[in-house]
Chain A
Amino acid sequence: MSDSFAATRVALGIMLSTALVVAAHHLWTPSFTLLAWTLMGVTAGFSLSGSV
């Protein structure tokens, strides 16, 4: 099995991507609000991975 796609790694990837967006928001532009709403949805959606 390819460990790259393990749920913890995917969740870590989502979390780190969100952290990058937060950093980018502070460093370059304050226009990441729309992305923030989408990322909030992504994290909530993936958190249901243990259910069917």
Chain B
Amino acid sequence: MFSIGLMLGALLAGLITGALGGLASIIPEVARLWTLASITAVIMVFELAGRPLSLPQNRRLVPQDVIPRAGFSGPLQFGFEMGTGVRTFTPTALPQLLVLVIVLAGGLGPGLLAGLGFGVGRTLMPLSRALSGAPRQWDTKLLASTAWVGRLCATGFLLSLALLWT
């Protein structure tokens, strides 16, 4: 239920962002792409250096009392709110950059696909943590390697972004 909530939240966020992309299409394409290229370059320099920029974010967690709610609703709501990427702390600037890419260069379809991917990416965390067999050790290792996880994700992000224009 938690993972389904993550996927639903991410898809909704992708849908809303994609709709905003449609509005941004009134701006000339050249202006949009140059703006995107400049911002991407700055954000990526900091991401690859392992010191992500602190961009505007909600900085609020989903209340813990949501989880114990009866039936499916607790985990579903917790996952949904986390899946949107809005009610969480963002240790990297990649989610904000993703929003910018969808708004300036995407649209409804790309927004939905990116939302789907965002949900999968978020789900991979609890999944790999559970599959590791030792969740606490997994957490310790993650905390020790957060910068590298960010760098690898930033490289993957850059590669997939390059795929759109090559």
In B139-166, the 8 Å CB interface with A consists of 141-143, 145-146, 148-150, 152-157, 159-164, 166
Q: How far is the CA of A26 from the CA of B166 in the complex (A)?
A: 8
Q: Is the CB of B95 within 8 A of A37?
A: no
The number of residue pairs between A and B whose CB atoms lie closer than 8 Å in the complex comes to 197
Main secondary structure of the interface of A (DSSP, over half): helix
Q: Is the CB of A45 within 8 A of B157?
A: no
Query: Distance in Å from the Cβ of B7 to the closest Cβ of chain A?
Result: 10
Contacts of A37 in B (CB 8 A): 106, 109-110, 113-114, 117, 160, 164
- Closest chain B residue to A11 by CB distance? B152
Contacts of A48 in B (CB 8 A): 85, 88, 90-92, 95, 121-122, 125
Out of B89, B94, B155, name the residue touching A44 (CB < 8 Å).
B94
Contact with B along A7-20 (1 / 0, CB 8 A): 11011101101110
Interface, chain B (partner A; CB < 8 A): 10, 14, 61-62, 82, 85, 88-92, 94-95, 97-98, 101, 106, 109-110, 113-125, 128-129, 131-134, 137-138, 141-143, 145-146, 148-150, 152-157, 159-164, 166
